[in-house]
Amino acid sequence: MEAAAIRSLISHLPSPTSPKSSTADHNLLLSVKLPKPYSKRRCNAPVRVSLENDGDKSKNTYGAIELQRLVDEYPYEFNSKDSPSLPRPLTSTQLSNLASEGSRLRVAYQGVRGAYSESAAEKAYPNCEAVPCEQFDTAFEAVERWLVDRAVLPIENSLGGSIHRNYDLLLRHSLHIVGEVKLKIRHCLLANRGVKLEDLKRVLSHPQALAQCENTLTRMGLVREAVDDTAGAAKLVAFHKLKDTGAVASTTAARIYGLNVLAQDIQDDSDNVTRFLMLAREPIIPGTDKPFKTSIVFSLEEGPGVLFKALAVFAMRNINLTKIESRPLQKQALRILDDSTNGFPKYFPYLFYVDFDASMADQRAQNALGHLKEFATFLRVLGSYLVDSGMA
């Protein structure tokens, strides 16, 4: 009965508007580039797979990637700066089409080996095959195209706040939130072997990591330079054998790239936790036997008290809100003008992302969303999933 009620409610919610696919998207050809002959017996070597645009190869939508796979007697060309034992990230132009093997889940994350996101993926899905992706978009696409089974991506940090890019991508793509995982972030100062703290002049890392260690790095007299991610900074320092440059990253990154840890726990605030979302193609069926959280996104008409009215549907049913985030409703500029606006829109449309402590199997949550649907201009359930009460 509960499952039927959930399906009934969700089926009556407006479906999101998906962006139109380009002509190139309809002309994709899959090509698996393997040397011939090759043995089916396994060894430790990558496979190169590509999705190419038919016809105009200068407009490839999806190009080749290299993943850690197992094929015997297979000559493999790789970037001399990269270790052949480390898979290179999936890119938005280079996606894999290799299927999952057995029951081992393939889980996409953003970054390179040693990233905090990889640790979150392994915490969420122990014994999974963690698949690195260069960008957040790529991880979403990899799940949608059945290239991986799941994605684990950051959504907010206790110090840095929300990761807005992933909020926008949740709406753009049709994936479902099936869980969350919280990870305690512990930054370390890393350098090549033989390099001492006094030898360093600058330090590389992700902008948020640098900001979280600002006071410590200032006391050390180090110039801060931003790169795409923490593990990528460690990889750069190691592969270029930099002597005057360190990296802010994890101890896992230090182990993978052979760096020394010069200082541990250098974050200014020890209360540093990142929350990650677990994404899948299909939603899970929520229950009521354990603590569940539900994430939704909606939009409203402009007017006095409208947002108050929307949030009241939860308060009147004693449902606790744990997160609210507003994002501009892109590609929908309202043209509500009057003489006092000098030709500019009177207001801009916004989307509201809300997390609340209740399962979609709970009658209160169903009634609240049914009430909200009466005056919301758009409403979508992103997922109903178990609350992560642990920390690692």
Instruction: Give the chain's largest Cα–Cα span.
Output: 75
Asked whether the beta carbons of 318 and 305 are under 8 A apart, the reply is no
Domain spanning 188-266 has what CATH number?
3.40.190.10
| Structure confidence at residue 51 (pLDDT) | 37
pTM passes above 0.75: no
Q: How confident is the model at residue 94 (pLDDT cuts 50, 70, 90)?
A: very low
* pLDDT above 90: residue 149: yes
Q: How confident is the model at residue 17 (pLDDT cuts 50, 70, 90)?
A: very low
Q: How confident is the model at residue 62 (pLDDT cuts 50, 70, 90)?
A: very low
CATH number among 3.90.700.10, 3.30.1330.20, 3.30.70.260, 3.30.460.20, domain 283-386 = 3.30.70.260
The amino acid sitting at 51 is L
| Closest among 15, 79, 70 to 45, alpha carbons compared | 70
Asked whether the beta carbons of 109 and 120 are under 8 A apart, the reply is yes
* pLDDT above 60: residue 374: yes
Residue by residue, DSSP assigns 100-115 as P-TTPPEEEEESSTT-
For 317-360, how does the pLDDT look when each residue is reduced to its tens digit (9 = 90+)?
999 999 999 998 876 544 444 444 455 555 568 899 999 999 99
For 100-125, how does the pLDDT look when each residue is reduced to its tens digit (9 = 90+)?
333 589 999 999 999 999 999 999 99
Q: Which residue has the higher pLDDT, 157 or 72?
A: 157
| Structure confidence at residue 359 (pLDDT) | 96
10 Å CB burial of residue 251 (0-12, 13-18, 19+) is: middle
Known catalytic residues? Answer: 274, 276
| Structure confidence at residue 319 (pLDDT) | 97
| Structure confidence at residue 342 (pLDDT) | 55
* pLDDT above 80: residue 247: yes
Q: How confident is the model at residue 228 (pLDDT cuts 50, 70, 90)?
A: confident
| Closest among 96, 182, 193 to 146, alpha carbons compared | 96
Q: Which of 55-64, 126-135, 261-270, 293-302 has the lowest mean pLDDT?
A: 55-64
In the chain, where does the domain assigned CATH 3.40.190.10 lie? 29-184, 188-266
- Its CATH architecture, for the domain 29-184, is 3-Layer(aba) Sandwich (3.40)
* pLDDT above 60: residue 197: yes
Secondary element (H or E) of residue 170: helix 164-172
Q: Which residue has the higher pLDDT, 89 or 55?
A: 89
Secondary element (H or E) of residue 237: helix 230-239
